[in-house]
Structure 1
Amino acid sequence: MTLIQSLFYVMAAMAVGSALYVAATPNLVRSVFMFFITLFALAGLYVLALADFVAITQVVVYVGGILVLVIFAFMLSGRETLAALQQTPVKWLSVAKLPALLLSGLFLVVLVNLMLKQDAGNLPWITNAVAGKNVIMPNDVMIGNTGVNLMTRYLLPFEAISVLLLMALAGAAHLARKEPQEV
């Protein structure tokens, strides 16, 4: 096993393990911090996949933007709301969760079946790319090309992402300042 493969397995285990902890824990503080680890592990996987721009974007947008908004919304929430959320009993199996469990189980079966039957080294599009010398080498510089495309061809989606972040900020502020409803 090479160093790159072992780094991949470590990063993948960190991402999957911390994501499962985020989904399973009733403690909101620990969940937020494990989400932080999940996002950084995903950025590490992007670096290993030679997608350096996507890794930097992952850190800047998700860790630097969305996660900070989640932390602010958490900090500005009332103690009563947080206490009520943490006192809610966690039931792993219930009738309300049955469709989600069935769907996720079916998805897991499909993914495992694909992984076992697929020979990733002999896929037609990979062999065509290697034969046509259309591959990304580790010493290729991709950020310059990405930056030019981002400011010319993909300017509209880039601006749409900034509007999405602005909406997330407004939503976090609304949730944090929501006053208790009178009954």
Structure 2
Amino acid sequence: MNINQVLFYVMGFTALASALIVAASKNLVRSVFMFFVTLFALAGLYVFALADFVAVTQIVIYVGGVLVLMLFAFMLSNKETLNSLQNKTGNKFIAINNMAALLAAGLFLVILVNAIIKARPDGIVWIQHAQRVNPPRTDNLGNIGVNLMTNYLLPFEVISIILMMALIGAVHLSRKEEHKL
């Protein structure tokens, strides 16, 4: 086992472990900081996948933008609001209230695994045509667009889903709750 494989496994383990801590932690500030670690580990994995542009984009947009925005949202939030959010989380992960979310996550996982298993990017006709018409070059910006929409389409879409989830989470945290009388 060479140093590249060791670094890849360390970054993969770091990404998975920190993502699990983000999902399982009841402390919101700790979750944000572990999300920071997750994003950097994913950027490292993109470097190993030879997607340098996606890695730099990951760091600049997500670490530099989304994560800093989340930290400012927590810093500017009312302490009572943060305490009420932390107290709302129950002790049980699998509860009746969480069943719809768990079902949706499970279905999404099945669809994603099925798509990954059945995807054969080298055999897709439009990708082969795009590579024949625009062979990969290293000297122009158009190469980034061609590679982003052919070879690196899956990481690009995963990043867009993560951004959408961050926006939904920001909307959920910022909405005003109705007080019951």
User: How many Å apart are 1:102 and its aligned residue?
Assistant: 3.5
Q: 1:114 to 1:87 in 2, by over 3 A?
A: same
Alignment of 1:1-183 (within 5 A): 1-88=1-88, 89-105=90-106, 108=109, 125=122, 141=138, 144-145=140-141, 175=174
Residue identity in the other structure for 1:33: F
Q: 1:99 to 1:28 in 2, by over 3 A?
A: same
Structure 1 CA distance, aligned partners of 2:93 and 2:16?
19
Q: Gaps (5+ residues) in structure 2?
A: 147-159
User: How many Å apart are 1:5 and its aligned residue?
Assistant: 2.3
Q: 1:44 to 1:94 in 2, by over 3 A?
A: same
Residue identity in the other structure for 1:64: G
**Bigger Rg, which one:** 1
Deviation digits for residues 69-109 of structure 1, max 9, x if unmatched?
A: 10001000001101111222332111122233244345556
1:154 maps to which residue?
Answer: none
Kindly indicate whether structure 1 or structure 2 has the higher relative contact order, using CA contacts under 8 Å at least 6 residues apart.
1
Q: Which secondary structure does the structure 2 equivalent of 1:97 belong to?
A: helix
State, as a whole percentage, how many aligned pairs show the same letter: 52
Q: Calculate the aligned-residue CA RMSD, in Å.
A: 4.2
Residue identity in the other structure for 1:51: A
Q: Gaps (5+ residues) in structure 1?
A: 151-160
Count of matched residue positions in the alignment of Structure 1 and Structure 2: 153
Residue identity in the other structure for 1:36: F
Structure 1 CA distance, aligned partners of 2:55 and 2:75?
27
Determine if contact 1:15/1:42 at 8 Å carries over to the other structure.
Answer: yes
Determine if contact 1:26/1:90 at 8 Å carries over to the other structure.
Answer: no
Residue identity in the other structure for 2:86: Q
Q: 1:4 to 1:113 in 2, by over 3 A?
A: farther
